[in-house]
Amino acid sequence: MRKMKSLPLLALSLLLLVGSISPAYAYSPAIQPFPIGVFWPPAPVDTTNARYQEIKDMNANLIVGGNGVNVASINDVALTLAANNGLKMLVDEYKLAWRDQEVSQTTNGFGLNVSNTAALGQTFTTPSGTDWALNTVQMYIDKNNWPSGVTLTLKVYNSPAKTTLISSDSITGPVSTYYPQFIVAKALQSNTSYYMELTSNSPTSVGWVVTSSADAYGGGQAYVNGAAQNMDFWFKLLFSQRAYNDGGRPADADLDAIAAHYNANPALQGYHVYDEPSALQMTRVQDTIRRLKTGDPNHMSFVNLLPTYASLSQLGVNQFTGEFVSASQSLGQTFKTKPGQTSINTVQWWIDRGTWGSGESLTLKLWNSAAKTSLIASQTLSSTPANNWPLFTLNASVQPNTTYYMELTHNGGGDNSIGWVVRSNNGSKWINDGTGYVNGSAIASDFWFTLNQNIQGGTYEDYVYRWASKDPDVLIFDHYPFLTNGGMTTDYYTNLEIIRRQALAANIDFWPYIQSVGFNNTNRAPSQSDLRYQIYTSLAYGAKGYIYFTYWTPASSGGESFSQGLILPNGTKNTSYTWASAINAEVLQLGPVLMSLTSQAVYHTGSALPASTTALPGTFFWKPDDASAPLIISYFTDGSGRKYVMVVNRDIGSARTVSFTLSPKPASVKEISKSNGTEINTNYNAATGAISATFAAGEGKLFALPVGY
């Protein structure tokens, strides 16, 4: 979430493709008047009505589950509290993120005693796969022979030689169960042998500690004081693994049970499905969402994307292979059009231009199916393209929700071979509703392609496109820009530009995470103007909601440290809580208008423009008199074509008063009130076209032009 790597902005020409597409409420139920969420809510022990009233009092209306609020018993309590306070909730469910596997030996028939002179041990083998963690160890111990005050300790070692202690946990008698559970909570190597040992702090014998009467477990054996025995202890080891590891995803039965449990809850907004998937996981995450929607079609799924500073390996866009196309080897791909899609204007493939020689041509044909009974459109490229992502122009009419087939062929000229033509690795799928073909035979992978886009493969924009093309309910991303050195990430606006562009192209809304906590000695706790700046710059780019990261300050763990969230670790309100409450109150008043608008253009002014941004054209109708003033000037329209402009002071450190001249001169200019949401008068002079306004550091204001202007 916080790895730093800047990537360049790509393909400004895509703006021509997305133009005036109007985003829709894809997510349901709609959150009125404007979605404002918090992530890292109060922990289970703090899941109380008073704490949820605090969230409401901050003028938020949405809770993204987490911080241990991730199982049905506590989620049900949280949802009730949310409903009591007019809040909606995206539930975080353990089985959406994790899968469990038990390794056990439950044959019994004998037993041994443990004391401070008799240590009992057992070797075991971890599951195959990747990234398994051992959560708990359960043993079978006679509770009636476990005296009060006697402590048993379970330690996990790398081997019976005990050269490395991995974890330990202790339980003091008396106990109420024959099956005490020791907490391990450590990641272990997969398919590897480890050793666990039970010891006592007392000479009094405790037991029986139940064993088999013979060797019953093939993955290990029992030990007494370090000596191997021809038997095994009774044990149950619970391992957990990320649900999307090893090519997997949550089980259908688990997803069906989750949907069945929550779908009728009035406070449910949807499901917190996954955080920061790589491109290699996206088809499986989409499968998860589709399965959830079979049981609950009326609530949204929430998936947060990585930021621009993630590495290419994290994004997963640098893992691929390829094929060669020649006169004797055609390449193809089936795919399905999206709901409402009626045209395919352009198609890109990823082809190594360095192998495209003189006299070689490639033709892309669009067919009704892989049977190729009806040719719909085609184009031939007869010269080497300018880059590795050539654009085929088809201008084809298509039907929505329909499967088509496109085929790439070679004319036989030159050396009769062009490639690589990039595809996914064998067994790795990039799309769910189609597959790649070589010479008319399906393969277990997909060729890289885009529809109605002009981007570069293997980039951050490619990553965002791949997810946006899968019809998410909303496009969500995190980018935390405020650094401890007092500056900002250099690619903050690059991220916003790409997200805005892909959200418009996919006709979906986007929400950013808002940095409201300091962490890892790299990112500072934001100031009041920092918060205001990130919220209003996001709104200027067309955001239709936002979420604070974090609400409660997380405890430091796993090498990460946090400070100064909206709620401090001791449960008291930080000063930033008050700042956020005031900004949220403003946005809720602007919300009904903001939700009705479609972003048309975002421009910047100032002596030094941020990377990837576009300078305000000299012909634009709204211009600052001082072109050096650091501003964002965003242009929106509503459903009837009425024009709106949002101006943001891009100066985090200082307030400023700015004068503007409008040409042609409208009859009036109104501001959308942050107090009541109505249109209020400004100091606009219709005779001169002049208007001025004062902006706090990082503040934005929304202005409305007359109907017909």
Q: Are 5 and 316 in contact (CB under 8 A)?
A: no
Q: Are residues 448 and 363 in the same domain?
A: yes
DSSP H or E segment with residue 136? strand 132-139
The residue from 541, 574, 593 where one domain ends is 593
Of the chain, the end-to-end C-alpha distance in Å amounts to 44
pLDDT for the residue numbered 18: 34
Supply the CATH number for residue 176's domain.
Answer: 2.60.120
Q: Are residues 479 and 587 in the same domain?
A: yes
What are the tokens at 466? 């791949």
Q: Are residues 608 and 694 in the same domain?
A: yes
Assess whether pLDDT exceeds 50 at residue 456: yes
Q: Are residues 587 and 602 in the same domain?
A: no
Distance CA 21, CA 500 (A): 12
What are the tokens at 203? 């000479």
Assess whether pLDDT exceeds 70 at residue 368: yes
Assess whether pLDDT exceeds 60 at residue 254: yes
In this structure, which amino acid lies at residue 269? Q
pLDDT-derived band at 26 (thresholds 50, 70, 90) equals low
Assess whether pLDDT exceeds 60 at residue 4: no
Distance CA 316, CA 280 (A): 6
Mean pLDDT of 104-131: 97
Q: Are residues 502 and 374 in the same domain?
A: no
The two most distant CA atoms of the chain are separated, in Å, by: 100
pLDDT tens column, 124-155: 999 999 999 999 999 999 999 999 999 999 99
173, part of any domain: yes
Q: Are residues 690 and 651 in the same domain?
A: yes
Mean pLDDT over the full length of the chain? 95
519, part of any domain: yes
The residue from 214, 233, 252 where one domain ends is 233
pTM over 0.75: yes
Q: Are residues 535 and 605 in the same domain?
A: no
Compute the C-alpha angle 575/577/579, nearest 5°.
75
Q: Are residues 518 and 563 in the same domain?
A: yes
Q: Are residues 564 and 609 in the same domain?
A: no
Q: Are 215 and 230 in contact (CB under 8 A)?
A: yes
Residue 634: domain span: 597-704
More confident residue, 57 or 7: 57
Supply the CATH number for residue 88's domain.
Answer: 3.20.20.80
pLDDT tens column, 377-420: 999 999 999 999 999 999 999 999 999 999 999 999 999 999 99
Q: Are residues 47 and 159 in the same domain?
A: no
| Domain count for the chain | 4
Q: Are residues 304 and 332 in the same domain?
A: no
pLDDT tens column, 193-223: 999 999 999 999 999 999 999 999 999 999 9
Q: Are residues 494 and 439 in the same domain?
A: no
8, part of any domain: no
